Structure 1
């Protein structure tokens, strides 16, 4: 099965994606998270990327796990990730700081600030309401990855 990159429009086989263990784990991690957390998490991990080099999949996975472990409330982490990404991108757009992130210190402060304001508890209630509504099936890409993995194990 071929996939087309949404950025550069090149095509590659789905089996290439499943070859890297860290990438498979990252895709599974993202698939298990609510959209309000997975999208800002991907953007946040991208803030660690330098201008000339891609970030290794192992490092991306480690960064994602570390970010998610900053608070027990996933919705709080999602809100903090969104706020952090917006703030850092705003600074970069203004030319203030274009260096890649090196640690989670900024995110830690945002998590603490939002936690003190009780943002996570408010968002958790909204997420419970959404979870009560019928959910769409799992992402098609994850299904294909899992099917390929089962086929390779047979």
Structure 2
């Protein structure tokens, strides 16, 4: 299967992006991330890409690890020097990334670290009205309204993607799908 790069328009085999171990490792990082947050992170990684060359996969892996550590902490500080922390949901981080992507022309690129994003998310978390607005559009709330059949279809799609990416063997994927369908009955 050939896919087209959304950035440059070049076509390439889908498997080519995941042939090396680092590509697989990067793809595996996104497996458990909520899709909306995952798409935001992919756009955010572009902000770290040097102008004359692409972002190294090893650097992308490190950036995603650092970012997911911050997101999974459940809180955000304005910067490393302050101890004041605010609760910050993944939806707030997604909104912060979206805000940065919308104003990318005003940013000094490429970014070196996550400090500016942390300040943006802290601003969202510090404003009760803005935080409430972000939570109203939280994909987890939408997900809770999905039917059981829609959830199973989504899970089967993820399993099939993992098989395609080589994260799971074909047999493991078929076993997981069978177990999922068996639990459904």
Flag whether TM exceeds 0.5 (same fold): yes
Identify the match of residue 165 of structure 2 among 140, 145, 150.
Answer: 145
Residue correspondence of structure 1 range 43-122 to structure 2 within 5 A: 43-72=43-72, 73=74, 76-87=89-100, 89-92=102-105, 96-117=106-127, 119=131, 122=135
- Higher-RCO chain (CA-CA 8 Å, sequence separation at least 6): 1
- 3-state SS of 1:24 partner: helix
CA deviation digits over 1:75-99, x for unaligned, max 9?
823432433443354250xxx4442
Q: How far 1:16 sits from its partner (Å)?
A: 2.7
In structure 2, relative to structure 1, the CA distance for the partners of 1:41 and 1:69 (3 Å cut) is same
Counterpart contact for 2:163–2:169, Cα < 8 Å = no
- Specify the structure having the higher radius of gyration (Cα): 2
In structure 2, relative to structure 1, the CA distance for the partners of 1:101 and 1:89 (3 Å cut) is farther
In structure 2, relative to structure 1, the CA distance for the partners of 1:81 and 1:124 (3 Å cut) is closer
CA deviation digits over 1:86-135, x for unaligned, max 9?
3354250xxx4442111111111223333344638936976155145232
Determine the C-alpha separation between the residues in 2 that align with 1:11 and 1:88. 25
RMSD: 3.3
Determine the C-alpha separation between the residues in 2 that align with 1:65 and 1:29. 8
In structure 2, relative to structure 1, the CA distance for the partners of 1:76 and 1:112 (3 Å cut) is same
Aligned length: 147
Q: How far 1:57 sits from its partner (Å)?
A: 0.6
| TM norm structure 1 | 0.72
Unaligned ranges ≥5, structure 1: none
| TM norm structure 2 | 0.62
